Amino acid sequence: MDRNQQLFDRARRVIPGGVNSPVRAFRAVGGTPRFVQRAEGAYFWDAEGRRHIDYIGSWGPMILGHGHPAVLEAVQRAARDGFSFGAPTEREIELAEAICAAMPNLEMVRLVSSGTEAAMSALRLARGATGRNKLVKFEGCYHGHADALLVKAGSGLATFGHPTSAGVPADVVKDTIVLEYNNAAQLEEAFTQHGHDIAALVIEPIAGNMNFVRAGTAFMKLARDLCTRHGAMLVFDEVMTGFRVGFDGAQAHYAKLIPGFRPDLTVLGKVIGGGMPLAAFGGPRATMEQLAPLGPVYQAGTLSGNPVATACGLATLKEIAKPGFYESLAARTRSLMDGLAGAANAAGVPFTADSEGGMFGFFLLPQLPRNYGEVMKTDGAKFNALFHGLLDRGVYIAPALYEAGFVSAAHSEQDIAETVAAAAEIFKTLA
């Protein structure tokens, strides 16, 4: 029996579904998950010793590829000094300074251990700072598994959400309003009805949890204007996009398009930890100083600012800050998307793609979708065939059609050519 299958069978006896995060189980695409034995550069090797070109990169953090020498050295050095102290370290300051220097909208940050924790804490801070309870989020955007955010849209405009997970009481999500992404009419209606009660609007500026869908410029400007007008906070969830689509995040992209644009709070993760459990949230000094121990909004964590994780994140940020890094990364990512589009078009398969920096998404659709409903019109059977065809040829993409992909600095022109050639073979069978 395949060693991956043996491990999966063994895992299911002691771990729910055999995995510690649901998408890893391959439920959306079928088949057996690949259990990773080791990784290096742009590749990982599974339990059978098969090499795969990795376009997940731990869902985004591995922007330099796996095992970058400078990062590895920094982590080893930090580990020798101690794994965890439960007390402050100088490296926490250095990482916070590096983040704030890269993103001018952040005057202060609080380090935490996961994107879920960062998003949950940022929204608690927004509620505490405004004295309001209601939140606005968008269908298809994922902000972690905090109870108030595990919701789906109700029926009709600006309706309150309904729990999407057992164990989430209806009362917990009664103050969460779920709208359609890029739907300006719904957004205006929500603020017309509830603007005086809305504490925050939280959004992925480029949604990476319904594959890759950008917020339109006009839509983002409207969101900013409505929050300003009604005294609500605009919270940018840049767990995926922060330091991934550019050194200064997706918010810098919108600032170029919308004069004076800035979010009120920013949530970061993934790249800032370099693959270690680390995330952050931040914003203006006056807002952030409402956190304990200075203010009344409580947040704490034993492993927050972990010394090994901060070493990993700081070493990563130093490497990606080097001149030309993002230009090269973006060109490599566009090359992959252009190659896949060319192969699909040659085979007569509907295909469209988009990318920014080292983050990408593609759809088996004739045009780019603008919201979750349109994303789900993708032909699931054809996507599954593409996924397994690539997997069999040593190319690993997200095992679900609603997840973004990631290119690293370690991916070579040969890796991209090999990926495109593999996809071309499969597209011919899908036409």
Catalytic residues: 142, 237, 270
What DSSP string runs through 33-65?
A: PPPEEEEEBTEEEETT--EEEESSTTTTT-TT-
Q: Are strands 206-207 and 213-214 parallel, antiparallel or unpaired?
A: antiparallel
CB 411 within 8 A of CB 332: yes
Q: In angstroms, rounded to a whole number, what is the distance separating the alpha carbons of residues 233 and 223?
A: 10
Q: Are strands 176-180 and 134-139 parallel, antiparallel or unpaired?
A: parallel
Identify the residue whose tokens are 């591995």: 62
Task: Please count the residues of the chain.
Answer: 431
CB 46 within 8 A of CB 73: no
Q: Identify which of 365, 353, 367, 349 has the alpha carbon closest to the alpha carbon of residue 404.
A: 353
Q: What share of the chain is helix, strand, coil (3-state, %, to 5)?
A: 45, 20, 40
Within 10 angstroms of residue 379's Cβ, the number of other Cβ atoms is 16
Taking each helix axis as running N to C, give the angle between helix 217-230 and helix 249-257, from 0 to 180 degrees, rounded to the nearest 10.
90
| DSSP structural state of residue 132 | -
Q: Give the bridge partners for 179, in sequence order.
A: 138
Going by C-beta distance under 8 Å and a sequence separation of 6 or more, which residues neighbour residue 275? 58, 61, 62, 66, 71, 312, 316
CB 363 within 8 A of CB 369: yes
Q: Identify which of 237, 256, 68 has the alpha carbon closest to the alpha carbon of residue 143.
A: 237
Q: Identify which of 238, 233, 211, 259 has the alpha carbon closest to the alpha carbon of residue 375.
A: 211
CB 6 within 8 A of CB 33: no
Q: What tokens were used for 80?
A: 């020798």
Residue at 107: amino acid letter: E
- Is residue 293 reached through a cis peptide bond, with omega within 30 degrees of 0 on the bond before it? yes
Residue at 37: amino acid letter: Q
**DSSP three-state, residue 404:** coil
| DSSP structural state of residue 274 | B
Longest dimension (CA), the chain: 62
